[in-house]
Amino acid sequence: MRFLSESTGMRIPCYSVLDGNGEIIVGSDYEQLSEEIAVKMYTSMVTLQMMDTIFYEAQRQGRISFYMTSTGEEAISIAAAAALTADDIILPQYREPGILLWRGFTIEEFASQCFGNKDDCGKGRQMPNHYGSKKLNFVTISSPIATQLPQAVGVAYSLKMDKKDACVVTYTGDGGTSEGDFHAALNFAAVTEAPVVFICRNNGWAISTNISEQFRSDGIVVRGRAYGIRSIRVDGNDALAVYSAIHTAREMAISEQMPVLVEALSYRVGHHSTSDDSTKYRSVDEIEYWKKVRDPVNRFRKWVERNGWWSEEEESELRSSMKKQLLQAIQVAEKTEKPPLKELFSDVYDVPPPNLREQEKQLRETIIRYPQDYPSDVPL
């Protein structure tokens, strides 16, 4: 009689390509990047980092109500997006705007959503950071944690019937893996042989809950086997490793029609959101270390520069022009009108039902009677 030990004693090794100085680790196997893709990846990571800083500040100044940064996790979203195609459908958690950025969502579109103005393709329906774009195959973000995981399996189930060269990619954090939906999704994905890549951003913190309090397993990668799912642990701060791992995972998911689990190890440098002050539950030194020494953007920059694909001049040019664009986007978005009144009542159902049509009519009649009580920045 032998019980399987609760732990093998050894942690599952982590796939890495670049060392801390941005040099390729001797003997690593990885997908080669073209200069064009590498530079686009780098500039996107810088853009994301700068957007996070400036939009976070805008919230602190009271101009938007809420914001969440991806600071420290830029490689996980950008490098993964670079390894996917435009047909791959993304079901995000909420810390992956990098994917939208890669696919062409503009700074102005991000700002419009955060301000909930009439240019927001989400019609001002949701809180900031809850982006969505059907055009870019990025399913609108929903707040409850991990609900996107079984949804992703459902999308993959439908996609499978289309027999396209595409898969579904869905994200969750380390905290999200505790939800029942994580279990149901992985189990179902395996049973239905769904072409879905599950990416877990293990960034060490779920608001103030450290991973040591979240689970007792060796991270998330070991759970794959429990469901009969192929899995890999990758260094989430190594853009080359993330790119290679996702590129391969995608191929496996599509050619073998099966789910794949990728655990990307990283660190949440920023607070959980603007409603959080993480210095209350973790040391400032820890945050500074990861921010300065383990920054994924700098690490990748060194490799790109070493290849002769990037220079100091291009760096300053990028940062100054991006800063201008970001500040301008906020200014414009702030002054833009809000969505018109009819958008309060549309999209509840496919066709507006009589009771909503009547409510809108009554509201408009009230506005005519008491125009002074109606906000001036909401068009009728």
Residues with catalytic annotation?
57, 143, 272-273
- Select from 172, 242, 226 the least CA-distant residue to 203: 172
- Does the footprint of another protein cover residue 157 (CB under 8 A)? yes
Q: Count CB neighbours of 311 within 10 A.
A: 11
Interacting positions 24-53 with another protein (CB under 8 A): none
Name the β-bridge partners of 198.
170, 261
**Which residue number, 3 or 349, has a Cβ lying nearer to another protein?**
349
**Which residue number, 191 or 293, has a Cβ lying nearer to another protein?**
191
- Does the footprint of another protein cover residue 306 (CB under 8 A)? no
Taking the C-alpha atoms of residue 245 and residue 233, their distance in angstroms, rounded to an integer, is 9
- Does the footprint of another protein cover residue 123 (CB under 8 A)? yes
- Tell me how far CA of residue 197 lies from CA of 11, 252, 288, in angstroms: 22, 9, 32
Instruction: Assess contact for 149 and 181: CB atoms under 8 A.
Output: yes
- Does the footprint of another protein cover residue 126 (CB under 8 A)? yes
Phi-psi region of 270 (alpha: psi -120 to 50; beta: other; left: phi over 0): beta
- Select from 244, 221, 261, 239 the least CA-distant residue to 76: 239
Residue of 28, 178, 187, 298 that binds another protein (CB under 8 A): 187
- Does the footprint of another protein cover residue 158 (CB under 8 A)? yes
DSSP helix/strand/coil, 230: strand
- Does the footprint of another protein cover residue 254 (CB under 8 A)? no
DSSP helix/strand/coil, 24: strand
**Which residue number, 327 or 348, has a Cβ lying nearer to another protein?**
348
- Does the footprint of another protein cover residue 336 (CB under 8 A)? no
Strands (DSSP E) contained in 271-361 are: none
Candidates 117-125, 236-244, 302-310, 319-327; binding stretch for another protein (CB under 8 A) = 117-125
Residue of 76, 90, 159, 329 that binds another protein (CB under 8 A): 159
- Does the footprint of another protein cover residue 341 (CB under 8 A)? no
**Which residue number, 143 or 307, has a Cβ lying nearer to another protein?**
143
- Does the footprint of another protein cover residue 354 (CB under 8 A)? yes
- Select from 187, 4, 207, 188 the least CA-distant residue to 95: 207
- Select from 107, 172, 166, 132 the least CA-distant residue to 330: 107
**Which residue number, 157 or 309, has a Cβ lying nearer to another protein?**
157
Positions in the binding site for another protein (CB under 8 A): 89, 91, 120-123, 125-126, 130, 132-134, 139-140, 142-144, 147, 149-159, 161, 180-181, 183-185, 187-188, 191-192, 343, 346-350, 353-355
